[in-house]
Amino acid sequence: MTQPLKLRRVPAGNSFLRRLSADRPARAVYVALALLIVLGWLLFALDGGRFLSQENIVGIQQRSAALGIVAIGQTLVILAGSLDLSVAYLISLTSLVAAEIMAGADANVPAAVAAVLAVSALTGLVNGLIVTRLRVHAFIATLGVALIIRGALDERYDGPAGGVPESFQHLGYDRVGPFPVSALLWAAVGACAWLLLSRTRLGYRIYAVGGDAEVARLSGVRTERVVVAVHVLCSVCAGIAGLLLASRLGAGAPTVGTDGGYDLESIAAVVLGGTALAGGRGGVAGTVGGVLLLAVLDSIFNQLEVNSFAKDVVRGVVLVAALAIHARRRRTA
């Protein structure tokens, strides 16, 4: 070498700090979350309440759990460059499947859980096969599947049906110390997804397919299998959320998924968490941050007794503003 090279030195340290460095798309949402918590604390204080009271923290966790679980599934699909609009109806369907099979009896719980997992996995398989084999745009494919599920729901149910035994309702209402069981379930699903993405071959391939399907293919990745797998996993997450909501309601309900707006809100939470809608960049940590951000926002509104419709407005503004800031940072980076 004739002259010393002056290549930009990239920080080579390890561990935790690096994970939160600027390269991590999740960082922004946690900064925003921290600011929001401080803001919430101030507002509560002025209002004479305690933001960090156990009651409020539990409330935030409970509100987040179902959306959080769905959003984790949605994260996997979006990371692989796809999308799932069928989760809301699938949640309704699985809540009904669970409640009807349980029919109020403890003994039926395992069968009901198994049935829910089977139904949701099958739905995901159908989604995945339509996207990969029939080459239908994921938007249309999952929208079509959503409509099909909706037809089945409309045909069979007018209102809540089935019954969940008391033992199963613990899932929705109990807590361990300051942690509701539902939040622990969410954490468990999140941990599994994190492990999947960061430590398994499938996880690595999800990023590869979403980042550049052609590069993945040239490296010997079977891209279609990966897409089918993420759709199955996402639908299973929706099924788990359906179980959780059934345990909360004590019954299955044909509108529980759509009333919660889980389809679009889960996508919103994912992109708030810094995951790129086009795939290949982001992760579960960001999504958890995104869901918590929405929940903390909710809790602040509740305390201030702001009209519930104002929440939607603020959510919309937050969503668009966050993405605009994100687009700007990416361009200048």
Partner 1 sequence: MRRALPIFVVLAGLLVAIAIANPYFLEPPAFLAFVKRAAPLVILAAGQYFVIVSGEFDLSVGSLVTAEVVIAARLIDGSAAATWPVLGLLIVVGALIGLVNGIVTTLLRVPSFITTLGTLLILSGAVFLWTGGAPRGALSPQFRELGRGSLGPVPWSVLILVAVAAAAIYAMRAGFGHTLVATGDNDRAAALSGVRVARVRTAAFMISGLSAAVAAILLGGFAGVSAQVGQGLEFQAITAVVLGGVALGGGRGSVVAAMAGAFTLEALFTLLNLYGISGALEPAVQGVIIIAAVALGAVNLPRSRAAAAP
Partner 2 sequence: MPGTAGRLDGWGHVLKMTGIGKSFLGVRVLTGVDLEASAGQVHAVVGENGAGKSTLMKILAGVHAPDEGKIEIDGRSVAFHHPVEAQRAGVAIIYQELTLLPERTVAENVFLGREPVRRGLVDRAAMESATGELLSSLGEESFGPRDLVRRLSVAQQQVVEIAKALSLNARIVVMDEPTAALADHEVELLYTLVRRLTGRGIAVLYISHRLREIFELADRITVLKDGARVTTAAASSLDTATLIRLMVGRELDSYYPPRATEPPGEVVLSVRGGGNARLHGIDLDLRAGEIVGVAGLQGSGRTELAKALFGAEPFTSGEMTPCRPRSARAGVAAGIGLVTEDRKAEGLLLNQRVRDNALLVARAVRRRQPGIERLLERVRLNPPRPAQEVRLLSGGNQQKVVLAKWMTVAPRVLLFDEPTRGVDVGAKAAIHELMRELAGDGVAILMISSELPELLGMSDRVVVLRDGRIAGELPAGATEEAVMHLAAGS
What is the closest distance, in whole angstroms, from the C-beta atom of residue 145 to partner 1 in the complex?
A: 6
Contacts for 12 with CB less than 8 Å, ≥ 6 apart: none
Considering CB distances under 5 to 8 angstroms, the limit depending on partner class, which of partner 2, partner 1, none binds residue 154? Answer: partner 1
x/- letters, 247..266, toward partner 1 (CB under 8 A): -----------------x--
CB 117 within 8 A of CB 239: yes
Q: Select the residue interacting with partner 2 from 59, 144, 211, 261 (CB under 8 A).
A: 211
Identity of the residue, 64 or 223, whose beta carbon is nearer to partner 2 in the bound complex = 223
E strand intervals along the chain: 175-176, 179-180
Q: Select the residue interacting with partner 2 from 41, 194, 204, 301 (CB under 8 A).
A: 204
23 binds partner 2 (CB under 8 A): yes
x/- letters, 265..284, toward partner 1 (CB under 8 A): --xx--x-----xx------
3-state DSSP assignment of residue 211: helix
Q: Select the residue interacting with partner 1 from 52, 111, 114, 320 (CB under 8 A).
A: 320
Contacts for 317 with CB less than 8 Å, ≥ 6 apart: none
What is the closest distance, in whole angstroms, from the C-beta atom of residue 165 to partner 2 in the complex?
A: 35
Q: Select the residue interacting with partner 2 from 122, 195, 313, 327 (CB under 8 A).
A: 195
CB 254 within 8 A of CB 159: yes
**At 220, which helix (H) or strand (E)?**
none
Q: How many CA atoms lie within 13 A of 64 on its CB side?
A: 31
Whole-number Å distance between alpha carbons of 260 and 75: 18
207 binds partner 2 (CB under 8 A): yes
What separation in angstroms does the CA of 46 have from each of 51, 52, 299? 11, 14, 15
Phi-psi bin for 81: left (phi > 0), alpha (psi -120 to 50), beta?
Answer: left
What is the closest distance, in whole angstroms, from the C-beta atom of residue 89 to partner 1 in the complex?
A: 9
Residues interacting with partner 2, by CB under 8 A?
1-3, 5-10, 12, 14, 18, 23, 195, 199-201, 203-205, 207-208, 211-212, 214-216, 218-221, 280-281
